[in-house]
Amino acid sequence: MRHTLAVLVENNPGVLARVSSLFSRRGYNIDSLAVGRTDDPAVSRMTIVVEGDARVLEQVNKQLHKLVDIIKISDITADEFVDRELVLIKVNADPSIRGEVMQIADVFRARIVDLGQNTITLECTGNGGKVNAFEEAVKPYCIKELVRTGKIAMWRGAKYTGFPGSSNKTNKEDE
Amino acid sequence: MKITAAEALVRCLENEQVEVVFGYPGGAILPVYDMLYDSGMRHVLARHEQGAVHAADGYARVSGRVGVCMATSGPGATNLVTGIANAYMDSVPMVLFTGQVPTTMVGTDSFQEVDITGISMPVTKHNYLIKEARQLPQIIKNAFHIASTGRPGPVLIDIPKDVAESEIYFEYPSQVKLWGYSPTYRGHPQKINEAVSAIQQSKRPVIYAGGGILNSGALEDLRNFAEIINAPVTNTFMGLSSFSGSHPLYLGMLGLHGSRYANRAISECDLLIALGARFDDRVTGKIAEFAPHAKVIHADIDPAEIGKNVLVDIPIVGDVKRILRAFNARLEPRENKEWVETVQQWKKDYPVTYKQDDNMLKPQYVIEKIYEHTGGNATIATDVGQHQMWVAQFYSFNRPRGLVSSGGLGCMGFGLPSAMGAQIGIPGEQVALVTSEGSFQMTMQEMATIVEQNLPVKIFILNNDSLGMVRQLQEVYCNKRYMATNLKFVPDFEVFARAYGVSAFSASSNEEVDKVVPEAFNTPGPVVVNCKVHQDENVTPMVLAGKGISNAIDV
Ligand SMILES: Cc1ncc(C[n+]2csc(CCOP(=O)(O)OP(=O)(O)O)c2C)c(N)n1
């Protein structure tokens, strides 16, 4: 099963290398890893998508915890969360077929970010499924270049229930 | 007043009450050595960085303190790597300082530059490259804390030369600053209750105790625990010396070369109580056949060890000492009479022995004599191989932390330097090294350090002219095709010893051993004893690869 981990780390040099070397050395499969700083410049947040059964995930979680730079790990897979990925795609599109491509872009609410003589570059944001679908849709126009950011994710805010204090659930282990 | 970061480093060591630094100098670490010159700090100059790091390791193992080691950039740093990995595998607290090329040159493949933080990442508990001098005191504070708390381990600090030379206002921080690092010490009360009731219900419990007992100083609590519930105790290799070898409940070591009775007790128990141990493959053999009838309680400070290799029924994360105290406070005494008697019978039925031979000296005999002479109260360092397993089988430890040996990494060459560090850690006490000619030749240059530091280590070389353990593997798995395991040339170790001005003896029969062992221990200063032992002797019993531990064979 695919799990999405939200990992807060101290923004120290080498922290990304520590995390990625841990995954490769212990043979865990990363689907994607996205990292950037949070509102606190000393803290970065990684969104790691990892494939594995419950036992593997438990080990991933525990081994990550052993890294001194890791502040907090939350497996948000089971919770309500929003996730986004961004893709930039450059496709062949001479003026005769530009209209078609732009129509597809419209359907996916993708934006045109650059026009070349025979190319068109599109930007699309959404969850992984939408980005995949968009990629499939433009494939026939011959993709010249494609880059995806990897997924970033966040819990949804607490649903308004009228009770104060009903808050986000965290999966942080208490042991 | 401003001081250089190099001087601040020495101040930090003083603040951490470091009494000795093991190291080897060089260009990039020059500023630090220059500051050591004026300090009162004891520096032990090894003859190879691997010697320095193993010595710091041996020192840490016997004393329970953080071992400190220094080396220069490039080759100095890479020479440390084996020793760091060794300390990491065996959870030994250590702080290592390496010099680095100046920050302006980092990343340019300059002379003696190597990315030691990158190289050591998978074998350190944590490491640092200091980029700004003012960070140094806090980093050192953190490093000592990380190395010595939770599951101990080595921490490396890489210091570029220009950083060491920069001036800073020095004040030693009173607190560590680490956001995410906080080991759990107190066992979860609910899990403790579950464990206690499982223990009360069990009829055939076995305690499987590892190195965590030594690290947490839980020896007395372990003995009380075993006596309250009358459960037999078996040790992992790393756990040896955590339970008295002469205690009636003691089963010796389990696993691949473990005693048959320990392995049988594991195979037939209904409750396995794992304390500060990690279900290493050399312990479990085929996992599916390990403790097949048992409920498993696993207590360890490192949550990642729990559930890693075997499924656990009652996990308890915490300090083993605190957990044992919580157990002992809640438990009613139990007799487990039938079980204890059964296990005692197994001890009689399958003793750990070897066959004497009138014409040849058996290596086990030498170890028995060392045991008899020291009463099990000496600290024994070993190298890696058959002799190491024979020490585990035939030396019965009565001194806590009495074994200094490379368990997890199985690192030949650990013996002599670690014995040297151990002797520095416990100056008035008896330290002996049991080694063999293969391992000894890997780090025997440290003889010079032993002499220079006047360390009265008694060195017994069980000389079988072969890389015995691998030779044994070739006998069992490769149809006696002895490839590269017979040493066709072995130096004369008596002459070698004399070249260092060290007393030397030799023995090639039981009678000579009877005479030489007391003589060696009664001779002041370091001593080398070259014991010419039978080459074909095997470590037995042995569990073959892929088999369960109840299926040991005699080899
Ligand atoms: C650094 C290193 N290289 C290789 C090995 C593989 N190895 C394990 S035991 C052994 C033989 C050890 O021979 P010796 O030190 O003579 O001890 P003996 O087994 O004869 O007692 C070897 C080569 C090792 N453990 N460590």
Burial of B547 (0-12, 13-18, 19+ CB in 10 A): middle
pLDDT at residue number A122:
97
Backbone angles phi, psi at B21, to 5 degrees: -120, 130
Across the interface, whether the CB atoms of B317 and A18 are under 8 A apart is answered no
* Chain B residue closest in CA terms to A25: B122
Helix (H, G, I), strand (E, B) or coil at B23: strand
Q: Which residue has the tokens 């560590």?
A: B176
Strands B20-23 and B67-71: parallel
* B49 in catalytic set: yes
Structure tokens at B358: 């009138």
* Residues of chain A positioned with their CB less than 8 A from the CB of B158: none
d(CA B274, CA B294): 11
B255-267: pLDDT as tens digits:
999 999 999 999 9
For the stretch B118-129, pLDDT in tens is 999 999 999 999
What tens digit of pLDDT does each residue of B523-554 get?
Answer: 999 999 999 999 999 999 999 999 999 999 99
Does residue B460 carry a catalytic annotation? no
pLDDT of A41 above 60:
yes
Query: Does pLDDT of B274 surpass 70?
Result: yes
Contact of B553 with chain A, judged by CB distance below 8 Å, is answered with no
pLDDT band at B358 (very low <50, low <70, confident <90, very high): confident
The pTM for the full model equals: 0.95
Which pLDDT value is given to residue A162? 54
Residue A160 has pLDDT above 90, yes or no: no
Residue B43, class by beta-carbon neighbours within 10 Å (0-12 exposed, 13-18 middle, 19+ buried)?
A: middle
Of A55, A68, A72, the CB nearest to B126: A68
Query: Is the pLDDT reported for residue A173 higher than 90?
Result: no
pLDDT for the residue numbered A172: 38
Say what the pLDDT of residue A174 is: 35
Q: A79: pLDDT confidence band, cut at 50, 70 and 90?
A: confident
C-alpha B110/C-alpha A42 separation (Å) is: 31
- A-B CB pairs within 8 A amount to 50
Q: Which domains does chain A show, CATH number per domain?
A: 2-78 (3.30.70.260), 82-153 (3.30.70.1150)
The catalytic residue among B19, B105, B112, B167 is B112
pLDDT at A171 over 60: no
* Active-site residue, B203 included: no
Output the average pLDDT for chain B: 97
Nearest atom, ligand 1, residue B409 CA: 25
Residues across chain A: 175
Q: What is the pLDDT of residues A106-149, one digit of tens each?
A: 999 999 999 999 999 999 999 999 999 999 999 999 999 999 99
Shortest distance, CA A116 to any CA of chain B (angstroms): 38
pLDDT, position A170: 40
Question: A169 pLDDT band (50/70/90 cuts)?
Answer: very low
Query: Which residue's CA is minimally distant from atom 5 of ligand 1?
Result: B412
Does residue B467 have its Cβ closer than 6 Å to ligand 1? yes
CA of B56 to the centre of ligand 1 (A): 22
**B189-349 and B2-169 share a CATH fold:** yes
- Whole-number pLDDT of residue A161: 61
What is the C-alpha end-to-end distance of chain B, expressed in Å?
69
- Chain A residues with beta carbon closer than 8 angstroms to that of B306: 62
Q: Is B175 labeled as catalytic in the residue annotation?
A: no
Chain B CB contacts of A58 below 8 Å: 307
Q: Where are the domains of chain B?
A: 2-169, 189-349, 363-532
Q: Residue A175 — pLDDT band, cuts 50, 70, 90?
A: very low
| Residue identifier of the C-alpha nearest atom 8 of ligand 1 | B385
User: CATH homologous superfamily of domain B363-532?
Assistant: Thiamin diphosphate (ThDP)-binding fold, Pyr/PP domains (3.40.50.970)
Min Cα–Cα distance to chain B from A19, Å: 10
Whether B43 has its CB under 8 Å from any CB of chain A: the answer is no
Q: Is B161 a catalytic residue?
A: yes
**Is there an atom of ligand 1 within 6 Å of B387 CB?**
yes
Residue of B81, B467, B471 with the most ligand 1 atoms within 8 Å of its CB, for mutation: B467
DSSP B42-96: EEEE-SSHHHHHHHHHHHHHHH-SPEEEEE-STHHHHTTHHHHHHHHHTT--EEE
Taking CA atoms only, the protein residue closest to ligand 1 atom 2 is B412
> Does CATH number 3.20.20.70 belong to domain B189-349?
no
In single-letter form, the type of residue at position B214 comes to L
Share of chain B above pLDDT 70, in %: 100
Residue B287 contacts A where some CB pair is shorter than 8 Å: no
**Most confident by average pLDDT, A27-41, A76-90, B428-442:** B428-442
CATH architecture of residue range(s) B2-169 = 3-Layer(aba) Sandwich (3.40)
Residue B1's pLDDT is what? Answer: 84
- Kindly state if the Cβ of B389 falls inside 6 Å of ligand 1: no
pLDDT at A9: 97
